[in-house]
Amino acid sequence: MDITILNTKMETTFPLRRKEIVNEQPLVSVIKERWPGLFLQEQLCAEFQRITCVDLKTAFMTSLNKHSNALIKMYRAKSKDLADEMKIILDHFDEQTTNILSHRYTTALRGLPLYLRERDAISKTCLDTDLEETYARGVKLGILEVMEDDISQATKRCLNFSIILEETVVMEDLSDFPTAFMVLFGLLYALNIEYPKGLKYTFEAVQNIFVGLGEKCTNRVQSLKNKIFTV
């Protein structure tokens, strides 16, 4: 479908779509079948702006650029008190010699749930030779990192990222982890999905600090917010 026509249709059907999503709370699979355009990155960002009057991509990436250094400093200061996974994340970042900015963004986001002492993992990995649907089973939401299945390489290369919602791969071929993280947050907002208990502080932090929505937040997120601006 022509992008201009799709934009017009999505704009025209917005009130009906919001009424259905908010009032009827259909399954994600039903929403995707009825409104497939909503699962295109550009259209998702447009939908987010219709709902909030906020440019999701600009707000998210600008804040990530602004706060990523402070977040990583905070992670280092608390690394001894956090899970071993935080040390692995920080060590991996320190080993990078190229695309430092991209790795800095990724490190800031990967460490966020650990710093906030969340229970759930936000991502999991699979090989590009695997069926992604297999890894979606039992996953309420998350990011699936698709790794290259090349036994000749000591370190497997990440090819792309997918989004899982309600045990279904709903978006594929996202370019990097920050983009996938942003898209996952945008989908939760656009599909009116409640933040899961095991990651509620992480998404609340994104909502309040990265996107600037909502004046009030929990004490845990407020503490994070205060520290970011004083590091």
Percent of the chain residues topping a pLDDT of 90: 78
CA distance 154 to 120: 28
DSSP run (H or E) holding 159: strand 158-165
pLDDT reported for residue 214: 83
**Higher pLDDT, residue 160 or 230:** 160
Say which residue the tokens 């989004």 belong to: 163
With 80 as the cut, is the pLDDT of residue 151 above it? no
Burial class (CB in 10 A: 0-12, 13-18, 19+), 9: middle
Check residue 1 and give its pLDDT. Answer: 64
Residue 2 in this model has a pLDDT that exceeds 80: no
Question: Which of 134, 155, 158 lies closest to 145 in space, CA to CA?
Answer: 158
**What does the buried/exposed string (b/e) look like for 77-91 if buried means 16 or more CB atoms within 10 Å of the residue's CB?**
eebeebeeebeebbe
> Secondary structure of 51-96 in the HEC alphabet?
HHCCCHHHHHHHHHHHHHHHHHHHHHHHHHHCCHHHHHHHHHHHCC
- Confidence band, pLDDT 50/70/90 cuts, at residue 154: low
Distance CA 85, CA 75 (A): 11
Digit-coded pLDDT (tens) for 197-207: 999 999 999 99
User: Is the pLDDT at 152 greater than 80, yes or no?
Assistant: no
Q: Give CA–CA dist 67/62, Å, rounded.
A: 9
pLDDT of residue 58 exceeding 80 = yes
Whether the pLDDT of residue 215 is over 70: the answer is yes
pLDDT digits 0-9 by tens, 88-103: 999 999 999 999 999 9
Residue count of the chain: 231
Q: What is the pLDDT of residue 150?
A: 75
